[in-house]
A and B are shown apart, each in its own frame.
Chain A
Amino acid sequence: MHKRKSKRKSHALALNVLTWMVVVLTLLPILWMVLSSLRNYSDIAAGDQLSSGLPLRWENYRDMWVNVDFFTYFKNSLIVCSVTTVLATMSATCAAYALARFRFRGSNGVSVGITVTQVIPGMLFFLPLYMLYRSMGDNWGIPMLDTYHGLIFLYVALFTPASIWIMRGFFISIPRELEDAAVMDGCSRFGAFVRIVLPISAPGIIATATFIFLLAWDELFFAWVLTSSSEVQTIPVGIRLFVSQFQHRYDLMMAAATMSTLPVLIAFFACQRFFIKGLSAGAVKG
């Protein structure tokens, strides 16, 4: 009995140590980034950003705003990501509900198709996509390159499939009888979806929306390829350009990185309760 108890204690201790190691490894780069954003660039170059004796340099943020035109990139990211989030969440919700509830010809094919799109690396189709966008602008008079809607259209297509799977698991976990009860109470099938299913699915929808927002906010490759002017370029592109232009100004670079992380952190911490609940909802009953 005593041996078993001490074995359990040492297991718990080992797990705690491992957990803290993971936490430190995860948080250390963020701490590094934040502290670097408050140091002089020569201190960073010397590797002293973690030293406690050095003063905090809040002027880095002011300098960053002046040098990087951060506000424009921030505004562009906010517009593109918010619209993407709304559209992708709406389409994922409707598609997921259809896949979860209805049996129709081709439903298996749709499910497989959604899975297959996730397997193909996005980079494989950037060239055909670029050419398509260019052709739409040149031949059809619909400008897609270097536009908000060009990016939004692509992001919605990119992030909806995974979102469908998240939402589908959530809808499957909702008992069908709730909708039957709503139909008995006078709702149409769509009315039952709107009045009963959607309110119950709010955690899943918020989790999906947060997930899409996070993905869109961090997306660099397609934003880099499909945009060329600062009126449309997003924060990841802005930071990338800044790196090219101000290679040694790590202080301003870290300030920009910290600023770009803030909305994501705020969104995540505001919605983390729904995020965790939504992602695991289908795990038990689905």
Chain B
Amino acid sequence: MASVTLQHVSKQYTKDVNVINDIDLKIEDGEFIVFVGPSGCGKSTLLRMIAGLEEITEGEIYIDGVLANDLHASERGLAMVFQSYALYPHMTVERNLGFALKMAGMPKAEIAQRVTNAAEILQITHLLARKPKELSGGQRQRVAIGRAIVREPKVFLFDEPLSNLDASLRQNMRVELAKLHKELGTTMIYVTHDQVEAMTLADRIVLFNEGVVQQIGSPLDLYDNPANLFVAAFLGAPKMNLLDARLESAHAQIAELRLANGAIVSAAVNASRVSTGDIVKLGIRPEYLQLATDDDAGAVSAKVILIEHLGDQSLAYITIADAAEPLCMKLSGRCCNLKYGDTIGIIFPLEHCLLFDQAGVAFKRV
């Protein structure tokens, strides 16, 4: 196990192309940390810099307290699982697993022992004599993970390892990876563009956009308290509902907002850093919007435009007069009562409302 520390790490390909911008990050011993973000945000590049496959333009990377900038990739005590598995096609599974150990000069007997142990953990003992082209996608993935395990690294690096698998296999492998982390307890750095993988696997998430860290925190922390609009919109499916609103009043504990249709909504945030009358963005997750009852005061009038029944839940798409985009409401079970054209009242619970300023930065929740 080892910690990984990044200090002011940047990567520049040319004078005008900054791929990674001044990253500071400390990854603790045994932590499962996930780098997540849209394609091209620099998460894989950062992983490759940690691995030693890309040069660092500025900054330092410490692995287990040792400066790793000038260390060869194989000297950093890391093992990497690639998106395309990167199994050597001309070698059997057994030779693939043992290749790194052979390069390290390990005795044959010890190589054989480690290969056998890794194969047993991953249940691929019966595949050792096969070549990669004779394996299914899931089997290749296990071999790729096995190749990392045999090295007994200080840190595992995963570069979108599940992206080539179908949905059901991906779910199974996610569980396997989580179990593996529990069993081995090794530090793991995992790169993905899939927020479900990030939310389910991570101890902490580092969310990237355009080479800049948007937020670092536990999955639920990022989900409940996004630092900005990008984080709010990236995590959660369906996406967070976002409406333009005008700040009517702002106190330390509560802010009152007027929606485009004139309705007043409250949010439990500290909006004192902006002025009354400023335009802000109100955010609320689909599962927090509530259907108003007859007794509810302050309900906002909305019209149903679409109902999607997913079996265990339903998604109702609604419009509020003068709002730019329809909102999505997540309702448990099957709401057979609602249909296209119905006018309903919806409640914005103030404890679940988020507020963002014009720059997209979130106000602190109270």
Is B88 touching A184 in the complex (CB atoms < 8 A)? no
Q: Which residue of B lies closest to A176 (CB)?
A: B86
Proximity string of chain B (246-273) to chain A, C-beta cutoff 8 Å, 1 when within and 0 when not: 0000000000000000000000000000
Known A184-B73, A184-B80, A186-B103: A200·B89 in contact at CB below 8 Å: yes
Our pick among A180, A188, A200 for the contact of B53 (Cβ within 8 Å) is A180
Task: Say if the beta carbon of A187 comes within 8 Å of chain B.
Answer: yes
Cα-based distance from A134 to B103 in the complex (angstroms): 51
Proximity string of chain B (74-90) to chain A, C-beta cutoff 8 Å, 1 when within and 0 when not: 10001110111010111
Cβ of A199: which chain B residues have Cβ within 8 Å of it?
90
Known A177-B82, A177-B83, A177-B84: A184·B100 in contact at CB below 8 Å: yes
Q: Which residue of A lies closest to B74 (CB)?
A: A186
Known A177-B82, A177-B83, A177-B84: A183·B73 in contact at CB below 8 Å: yes
Is A180 touching B90 in the complex (CB atoms < 8 A)? no
Proximity string of chain A (176-199) to chain B, C-beta cutoff 8 Å, 1 when within and 0 when not: 011011111111100000001001
Is B103 touching A180 in the complex (CB atoms < 8 A)? no
Task: Say if the beta carbon of B178 comes within 8 Å of chain A.
Answer: no
Is B86 touching A180 in the complex (CB atoms < 8 A)? yes
Task: Say if the beta carbon of B99 comes within 8 Å of chain A.
Answer: yes
Known A177-B83, A177-B84: A183·B90 in contact at CB below 8 Å: no
Known A178-B88, A180-B53, A199-B90: A185·B78 in contact at CB below 8 Å: no
Q: Which residue of B lies closest to A199 (CB)?
A: B90
Most chain-B Cβ atoms within 10 A of its Cβ — which of A177, A182, A184, A196? A184
Cβ of A183: which chain B residues have Cβ within 8 Å of it?
52-53, 72-74
Is A184 touching B79 in the complex (CB atoms < 8 A)? yes
Cα-based distance from A216 to B311 in the complex (angstroms): 71
Cβ of A186: which chain B residues have Cβ within 8 Å of it?
74, 100, 103-104
Cα-based distance from A80 to B82 in the complex (angstroms): 45
Cα-based distance from A173 to B343 in the complex (angstroms): 58
Cβ of A178: which chain B residues have Cβ within 8 Å of it?
86, 88
Task: Say if the beta carbon of B289 comes within 8 Å of chain A.
Answer: no
Task: Say if the beta carbon of B51 comes within 8 Å of chain A.
Answer: yes
Cβ of B84: which chain A residues have Cβ within 8 Å of it?
175, 177
Cβ of A185: which chain B residues have Cβ within 8 Å of it?
74, 99-100, 103
Our pick among B82, B88, B104 for the contact of A180 (Cβ within 8 Å) is B82
Cα-based distance from A175 to B144 in the complex (angstroms): 15
CB proximity of B77 to chain A, nearest CB, Å = 11
Cα-based distance from A184 to B103 in the complex (angstroms): 10
CB proximity of A104 to chain B, nearest CB, Å = 15
Our pick among A181, A187, A188 for the contact of B86 (Cβ within 8 Å) is A181
CB proximity of B126 to chain A, nearest CB, Å = 23
Cβ of A188: which chain B residues have Cβ within 8 Å of it?
72
Cβ of B73: which chain A residues have Cβ within 8 Å of it?
183-184
CB proximity of A205 to chain B, nearest CB, Å = 13
Q: Which residue of A lies closest to B100 (CB)?
A: A185
Cα-based distance from A184 to B74 in the complex (angstroms): 5
Q: Which of B94-133 contact A (CB under 8 A)?
A: 99-100, 103-104
Is B53 touching A184 in the complex (CB atoms < 8 A)? yes
Known A186-B103, A186-B104: A181·B80 in contact at CB below 8 Å: yes
Proximity string of chain A (151-185) to chain B, C-beta cutoff 8 Å, 1 when within and 0 when not: 00000000000000000000000010110111111
Q: A180-B53, A199-B90 are in contact. List 6 more A-B contacts (CB 8 A).
A: A175-B84, A182-B99, A184-B52, A185-B103, A186-B103, A188-B72
In the complex, 17 of the A-B residue pairs with CB atoms within 8 angstroms, ordered by the A residue number, are A175-B84, A177-B83, A177-B84, A180-B48, A181-B147, A182-B88, A183-B52, A183-B73, A184-B74, A184-B78, A184-B100, A185-B100, A186-B74, A186-B100, A186-B104, A187-B74, A200-B90
